[in-house]
């Protein structure tokens, strides 16, 4: 008999460490893929007038290289370490929502498969550059279906990231061990808090922009082809996401560098609180600098000046952090192990990237450098130099903990040496090509760019070969390396106090209790804050010692089939949306069945998550995990709808300047119809809070009646909306009529999708209320749904006046 | 308990009142002139605040959530300002 358990473990696991490993392997796979793309187009540029690649092939490879490296490699590589180590570093046994954690990974993988399959969708994949600039992203200039598929893949990836963000923030805020105050968190966990917050507010903005793009490409709306929207609208929406994304890429690796400096100099991190404050300031400022990518777009002079200043301001917190890192080394007993070498290298490369970034913040200099290889050199020094190099340091640092084996230090140092030579040969000469446009696929020998390009390509291959050494080293060592003890480096964070690799629930000695004098462990009892015996994903407390390692090496009790099935359904459905109805129906069917299965699993209590009653939960002591998760999701929705409202304002205000007459109130839309529908939705909000009141009071009939009324009113709202759409279409007000019609359909459409999602959840809620042992047991779920439904109402109170009255 | 229900019903009344005033302004807002639009948006904002504080607030500790919500709103404010400025302020045209 074939033993399928090992395979099933990786398909159905909900354990944070397994998921961390899956993220690690998948992101490295995409790293190799995107790296090969880069080598291919660097080969094209190696010599003048090369004909190795055709222009569209070159454009597709450059686009996919950029998107993969940024969104499917560096961000998930940080997520891999965060998945594996953040729960351990805060003293938790797992993530707050283990199944959602698995879902995030599988959706990430599905999005990557969708992105790569877009090459074969007929006509190739997206070829507009990673910035997806309008109007290159429109059907007129990029008609291939693969482009639309890449757009959908990006939306799926953003959904995965946002779910993951909610999970991490709840985990860090609610599952910290006793005594693990926020200030005691290791710098990596702090870096991941800010990374998560940046993802929470920046990624929904990208989803908004992609919603408009996919609507343009799939449904014929006119956001980026009309003069009211056009390239400037895309630029604002994209870079509002795009610049914070730079810090999403940078912060995890940069934070690891701080922890490595501390560990390998045997010194506490210098000015740790100031570093954390600087990370906070930089994160806030990152939302105020995006238009420095738009200095050449013709926006007003006052905006240029403002963004010039904010961009220069953001260099200050990073300069302080760099100084603090260097001061950490002062007087320390420094050990130049491979992780430390990568940390030092990352800091040096980041400084070069930072200095060249100050050049770009100047409007005058940026005018000269914009769109040249100087910019390519700058951002690779920052993102690859500061971010990815730091993450590679983390990979070597944590390898013994993950595998329980040491890697070859000699090969690690050889990797570092060739890495640094290759990196600097690859990216530094790009600064000398400050007169070569970055978006050309070939050039003439008379330009004189040939020798430098050849040098860059040699550097690229050197850099690529260095990674082979790393892969060989780590693959061999994972199987045959000498055994690692639990703390080979003298690290100070909690992962170094437990075996290598860690047991299933991390802390075999009990609950870690952190104090000024160090860490002690106390036996865990099943007395958890939620009063249950349940463990993550439905396991059972083991003889009152919930933290005792499980005998089942695969953690089978905590498997769930549904995350992978949900992700597969979503991926197939999106693929089918562009490739044909059979796949669309199949994917939708699988997705629907999987969601039902997920809900049934929840009803059996398999997703109960334990909370240590005595753990640190400030500042969210009074919230349950699920309600905090829902609130964090709502905060992300503010960014999503806020960006869409911003797009509305832009189109509306721009219309008189472009000669377009926006329809007057009542001219197209029936105000009273819309007003009536508003009454219906707001009334459903009232019945929803009544449901909560009845649940708390223990009134079963009142609860059921209120939920049914909420469902009926929500459904009536949607039916009404469908009739309204039908009438508008009949009257010739279609998706493509004008920018006014386009924004109407997208805004009311995405709101309608939220209502439909809410109605689906409401059905689950009604079943749960029906099955609950007592009505009061159901009140928690009713509360959480009430938050969501309140948000749906709150969004509509803005949509109604925007779409009907102004 | 009845106080809770009365509170929810009162907020519902406020939401309905706001809706009626909004529609009246839109249909016959001549007296308000250019203030009609801001007035409608101000009413919508008040409605959203009531929903947030009363319908969504429930029994949770309001302060951390409210602070988080305000920060979330603040993050998109620069985008609104920049989008407005991009349209309203004179363009300098593409630089050479």
Cα–Cα distance measured from residue A444 to residue A432, given in angstroms and rounded to the nearest whole number: 17
Within 8 A of B45 by CB-CB distance, chain A residues are 798
Rounded to a whole number of angstroms, the distance from the CA of B5 to the nearest CA of chain A is: 7
Residue B96 lies in a domain: no
User: Closest chain B residue to A634 measured between Cα atoms?
Assistant: B69
Q: Which segments of chain A have a pLDDT < 50?
A: 526-551
* Contact yes or no for B40 and A794 at CB 8 A: no
Is residue B84, in this structure, part of any structural domain at all?
Answer: yes
Whether residue A161 lies inside any domain: the answer is no
**Cα–Cα dist A468/A521, whole Å:** 42
Tell whether A456 is covered by a domain. Answer: no
Residue A607's pLDDT is 56
CA distance B75 to chain A (A): 7
- Of the candidates A654, A671, A797, the beta carbon closest to that of B44 is on A797
The CATH number that applies at residue A732 is 1.20.120.80
- Give the tens place of pLDDT for each residue, A374-419: 999 999 999 999 999 999 999 999 999 999 999 999 999 999 999 9
**Nearest beta carbon to residue B47 from set A298, A643, A797:** A797
C-alpha distance from A446 to closest chain B C-alpha (Å): 24
Residue B90 Cα, gap to closest chain A Cα (Å): 6
Q: Which domain holds residue B26?
A: 2-88
Interchain proximity B65–A240, CB inside 8 Å: no
User: Does A768 fall in a domain?
Assistant: yes
Phi, psi torsion values for B53, nearest 5 degrees: -75, -35
Domain total in chain B = 1
Give domain status of residue B44, yes or no. yes
Query: Would you say residue B95 lies in a domain?
Result: no
* Residue A595 domain-assigned (yes or no): no
Complete DSSP assignment for A236-276:
HHHHHHHHHHHHHHHHHHHHHHHHHHHHHHTSPPTTHHHHH
First to last CA, chain B: 69
Cα gap A755→A799, rounded to integer Å: 14
**Chain A residues with CB inside 8 Å of B53's CB?**
none
Query: Within an 8 Å CB–CB cutoff, is residue B21 touching chain A?
Result: no
Instruction: Tell me if B55 and A685 make a contact (CB, 8 A cut-off).
Output: yes
Interchain contact, A622 vs B40, CB within 8 Å: no
Q: Has residue A750 been placed in a domain?
A: yes
Taking CB atoms and an 8 Å limit, are A801 and B22 in contact across chains? yes
Residue A466 corresponds to which tokens in the numbers above?
């260095």
Cβ separation A619–B64 shorter than 8 A: yes
Which chain B residues contact residue A305 at CB under 8 A? Answer: none
CA distance A460 to A471: 17
B3–A contact, CB cutoff 8 A: no
Task: Identify the pLDDT of residue A372.
Answer: 96
A·B CB contacts under 8 A: 188
Instruction: Tell me, yes or no, whether B62 lies in a domain.
Output: yes
Interface list for B 69-88 with A (CB within 8 A) = 69, 71-73, 75-76, 78-80, 82-88
Write a three-state SS string for A408-470. CHHHHHHHHHHHHHHHHHHHHHHHHHCCCECCCCCCCHHHCCHHHHHHHHHHHHHHHHHHHHH
B19 belongs to a structural domain: yes
Of A288, A302, A686, the CB nearest to B89: A302
Quick check: A682 and B23 CB within 8 A?
no
Contacts of residue A233 in chain B, CB cutoff 8 Å?
Answer: 83
Check residue A539 and give its pLDDT.
33
Query: Which residues pair with residue A513 across a beta bridge?
Result: A520
What's residue B31's pLDDT?
76
Query: Given an 8 Å threshold on Cβ–Cβ distance, is B87 in contact with A689?
Result: no
Q: What was the pLDDT predicted at A327?
A: 97
Q: Do B76 and A367 touch (CB under 8 A)?
A: no
- Omega of the bond leading into A609 within 30 degrees of 0 (cis): no
Examine residue B39 and state whether it is found in any structural domain, yes or no.
Answer: yes
Q: Do the chains contact at A296 and B95, CB–CB below 8 Å?
A: yes
Nearest C-alpha of chain A: how many angstroms from B31? 15
Please check whether residue B93 lies inside any domain of the structure. Answer: no
> Which of B7, B62, B68 is the best residue to mutate to test the A interface, defined by the most A CB atoms within 10 Å of its own CB?
B68
Output the DSSP codes for B38-58.
Answer: HHHHHHHHHHHHHIIIIITTT
Which residue ranges in chain B fall short of pLDDT 50? 93-96
Environment class of residue A752 by beta-carbon count within 10 Å: exposed (0-12), middle (13-18) or buried (19+)?
middle
């Amino acid at each position: 008999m074939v033993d399928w358990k090992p395979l099933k473990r990786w398909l159905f696991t909900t354990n944070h460490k397994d998921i961390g490993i899956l993220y690690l392997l998948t992101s490295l796979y995409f790293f190799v893929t995107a790296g090969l793309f880069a080598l291919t187009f660097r080969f094209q540029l190696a010599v003048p007038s090369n004909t190795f690649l055709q222009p569209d092939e070159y454009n597709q490879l450059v686009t996919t290289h950029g998107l993969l490296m940024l969104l499917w490699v560096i961000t998930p590589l940080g997520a891999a370490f965060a998945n594996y180590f953040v729960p351990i570093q805060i003293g938790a046994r797992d993530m707050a929502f283990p199944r959602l954690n698995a879902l995030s990974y599988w959706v990430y993988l599905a999005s990557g498969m969708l992105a790569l399959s877009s090459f074969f969708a007929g006509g190739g994949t997206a070829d507009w550059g990673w910035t997806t600039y309008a109007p290159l992203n429109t059907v007129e200039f990029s008609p291939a279906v693969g482009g639309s598929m890449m757009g959908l893949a990006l939306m799926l990836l953003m959904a995965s990231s946002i779910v993951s963000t909610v999970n991490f923030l709840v985990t860090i805020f609610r599952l910290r061990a006793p005594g693990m105050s926020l200030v005691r968190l290791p710098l990596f966990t702090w870096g991941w808090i800010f990374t998560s917050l940046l993802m929470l507010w920046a990624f929904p903005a990208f989803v908004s922009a992609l919603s408009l793009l996919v609507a343009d490409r799939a449904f014929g709306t006119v956001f980026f082809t009309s003069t009211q929207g056009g390239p400037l609208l895309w630029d604002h929406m994209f870079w509002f996401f795009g610049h914070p994304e730079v810090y999403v890429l940078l912060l995890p690796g940069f934070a690891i560098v701080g922890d490595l400096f501390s560990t390998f100099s045997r010194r506490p991190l210098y000015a740790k609180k100031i570093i954390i404050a600087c990370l906070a300031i930089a994160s806030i400022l990152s939302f105020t600098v995006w238009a420095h990518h738009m200095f050449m777009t013709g926006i007003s002079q006052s905006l240029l000046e403002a963004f010039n200043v904010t961009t220069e301001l953001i260099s200050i917190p990073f300069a302080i952090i760099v100084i603090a890192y260097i001061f950490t080394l002062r007087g320390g007993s420094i050990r130049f192990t491979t992780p430390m070498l990568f940390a030092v290298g990352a800091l040096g490369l980041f400084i070069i990237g930072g200095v060249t970034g100050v050049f770009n913040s100047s409007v005058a200099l940026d005018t000269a450098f914009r769109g040249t290889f100087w910019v390519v050199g700058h951002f690779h020094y920052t993102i690859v130099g500061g971010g990815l190099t730091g993450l590679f340091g983390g990979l070597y640092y944590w390898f013994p903990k993950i595998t329980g084996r040491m890697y070859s230090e000699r090969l690690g140092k050889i990797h570092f040496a060739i890495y640094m030579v290759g990196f600097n040969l690859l990216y530094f000469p790009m600064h000398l090509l400050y007169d070569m446009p970055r978006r050309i696929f070939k050039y003439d020998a008379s330009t004189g760019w040939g020798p430098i390009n050849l040098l860059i390509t040699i550097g690229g291959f050197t850099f690529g070969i260095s990674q082979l050494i790393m892969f060989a080293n780590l693959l061999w060592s994972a199987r045959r390396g000498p055994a690692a003890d639990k703390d080979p480096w003298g690290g100070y964070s909690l992962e170094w106090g437990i075996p290598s690799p860690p047991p299933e629930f991390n802390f075999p000695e009990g609950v870690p209790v952190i104090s000024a004098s160090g860490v002690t462990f106390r036996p865990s009892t099943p007395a958890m804050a939620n009063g249950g015996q349940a463990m993550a994903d439905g396991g059972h407390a083991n003889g009152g010692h919930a933290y005792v390692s499980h005998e089942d090496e695969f953690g089978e009790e905590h498997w769930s089939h549904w995350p992978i099935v949900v992700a597969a359904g979503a991926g197939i459905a999106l693929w089918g949306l562009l490739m044909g109805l059979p796949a669309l129906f199949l994917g939708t069917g699988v997705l629907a069945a999987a969601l039902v299965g997920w809900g049934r699993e929840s009803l059996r209590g398999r997703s109960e998550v334990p909370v240590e009653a005595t753990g640190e939960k400030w500042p969210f002591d009074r919230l349950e995990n699920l309600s905090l998760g829902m609130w964090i999701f709502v905060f992300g929705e503010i960014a999503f709808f806020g960006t869409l409202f911003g797009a509305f304002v832009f189109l509306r205000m721009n219309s008189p300047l472009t000669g377009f007459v926006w329809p007057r109130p009542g001219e197209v839309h029936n105000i009273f119809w819309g007003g009536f529908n508003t009454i219906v939705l707001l009334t459903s909000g009232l019945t929803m809070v009544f449901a909560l009141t009845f649940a708390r009071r223990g009134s079963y009939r009142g609860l059921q009646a209120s939920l049914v009324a909420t469902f009926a009113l929500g459904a009536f709202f949607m039916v009404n909306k469908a009739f309204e759409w039908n009438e508008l279409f009949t009257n010739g007000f279609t998706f493509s009529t004008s920018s006014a019609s386009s924004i109407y359909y997208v805004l009311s459409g995405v709101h309608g999708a939220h209502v439909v999602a809410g109605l689906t959840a409401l059905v689950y809620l009604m079943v749960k209320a029906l099955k609950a042992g007592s009505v009061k047991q159901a009140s928690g779920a009713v509360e959480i749904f009430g938050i969501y439904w309140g948000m749906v109402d709150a969004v509509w109170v803005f949509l109604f006046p925007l779409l009907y009255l102004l | 308990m009845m106080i809770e229900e009365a509170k929810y019903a009162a907020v519902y009344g406020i939401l309905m009142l706001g809706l009626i005033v909004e529609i009246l302004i839109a249909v016959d807002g001549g007296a308000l002139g250019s203030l009609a639009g801001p007035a409608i948006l101000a009413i919508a904002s008040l409605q959203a605040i009531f929903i947030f504080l009363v319908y969504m607030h429930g029994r949770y500790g309001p302060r951390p959530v409210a602070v988080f919500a305000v920060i979330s709103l603040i993050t998109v404010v620069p985008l609104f300002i920049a989008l407005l400025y991009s349209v309203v302020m004179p363009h300098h045209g593409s630089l050479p």
